[in-house]
Amino acid sequence: MFDRLQAVEDRYEKLNELLSDPEIVNDTKKLREYSKEQSDIQETVMVYREYKDVQQQYKDAKAMLEEKLDAEMKEMVKEEINELEEQIENFEERLKILLVPKDPNDDKNVIMEIRGAAGGDEAALFAGDLYRMYSRFAETQGWKTEVIEASTTGVGGYKEIIFMINGKGAFSKLKFENGAHRVQRVPETESGGRIHTSTATVAVLPEAEEVEVEIHEKDIRVDTFASSGPGGQSVNTTMSAVRLTHIPTGTVVSCQDEKSQIKNKEKAMKVLRARVYDKFQQEAQAEYDANRKSAVGTGDRSERIRTYNFPQNRVTDHRIGLTIQKLDQILQGKIDEIIDALILEDQSHKLESVND
């Protein structure tokens, strides 16, 4: 572990040199890349330096015990050694966590896609419940939510809703929401009072920047059309809606939320870039998972991750066996307990890898 920490500190010093090099300062791409790398390892380096300082104090205190000291001074030095040993232990635990590989997407904004799956109108209503849950959670975090595309149903739910959540660390907290969410409840339209089971799928994509995924204009087909509302009625006679097709991957994105064609194209490009980036990441993840499956699931959209049971006011996350009897609160956006448990499980799994 300490060899790795020393290598991180050496890299930090090298980055300091590079960031003061005029050639790098004038290269925007490299400057950005090196600045981010330095920022990512800064906390680890600072904690490691504190740790080395405490280690030195410990050695000095142990050396003092070898000297001729009166009983009172000897007792004081022993107390100091005990305190320093406790600090060293705490620092070592903290450094292990800091050495856990950091997801490069953790600080990014998120594009979420929620779709009603099995269950018809009831699935669409549940998709709406999930959208409101995530929107309210975003509010509590001080993040902003922006709808990109929505396809509503006559009963008030969503066949599909795509929206962006802007906020530092949004992906780090929401990335484990990927998968199929199942609801068990009596539908409002069900006169017999029978419990129905429906599902909605959630996809969580990190917003990709242009430097991370290169999409050439020549590879995109742009189609424009008049936007429409529920039931296909026209809500805009101008050709403001935009459909983008990324020809190499076959990825298609539509956006008609804005009245301006330019704004719709900008929004659609954000989703397209995120989906293409996600496709490459999913391929890389599949290769990784073939060797070692993740503790909290593969992120496969078809994987059933959670059940929301209305009669029992219960939510169960099947990946970590967590059950909470607070469904009403969770649907109000109070999902911190689930998110924290998933992050902890993921960190524990990664810590095992660091210790191997």
Round to whole Å and give the CA distance between 259 and 261: 7
Q: What is the pLDDT of residues 295-320, one digit of tens each?
A: 454 445 567 899 999 999 999 999 99
- Confidence band of 191 (pLDDT split at 50, 70, 90): low
- What does DSSP say about strands 196-206 and 158-166: parallel, antiparallel, or unpaired? unpaired
Q: What is the pLDDT of residues 91-119, one digit of tens each?
A: 988 888 888 777 778 888 999 999 998 87
Round to whole Å and give the CA distance between 356 and 353: 5
pLDDT score of 28: 86
pLDDT score of 91: 92
- Is residue 255 a contact partner of residue 268, using CB atoms and an 8 Å limit? yes
pLDDT at 351 over 80: no
204-243 burial, b if ≥16 CB within 10 A, otherwise e?
A: bbbbbeeebbebeeeebeeeeeebeeeeeeeeeeeebbbb
Q: What is the pLDDT of residues 68-89, one digit of tens each?
A: 888 888 889 899 999 999 999 9
Classify domain 110-349 by CATH number.
Answer: 3.30.70.1660
Query: Which of helix, strand or coil describes residue 305?
Result: strand
pLDDT score of 308: 96
Q: How high does pLDDT run on average in the chain?
A: 84
pLDDT score of 227: 67
User: What number of other Cβ atoms are within 10 A of residue 99's Cβ?
Assistant: 19
- Residue ranges covered by each domain of the chain: 2-98, 110-349
| Higher local confidence (pLDDT), 215 or 133 | 133
Q: What is the reported pTM?
A: 0.66
Mean pLDDT check: name the lowest of 22-36, 42-56, 181-195. Answer: 181-195
Residue type, 170: A
pLDDT score of 117: 85
Residue type, 347: Q
Provide the angle, in degrees to the nearest 10, between the axes of the packed helices 2-19 and 28-65.
130
Q: What is the mean pLDDT of residues 202-215?
A: 77
Q: What is the mean pLDDT of residues 244-256?
A: 87
- Confidence band of 248 (pLDDT split at 50, 70, 90): confident
- Nearest 5°: the CA angle 177, 178, 182 is 80
Instruction: Count Cα neighbours of 57 within 13 Å in the Cβ-side half-sphere.
Output: 18
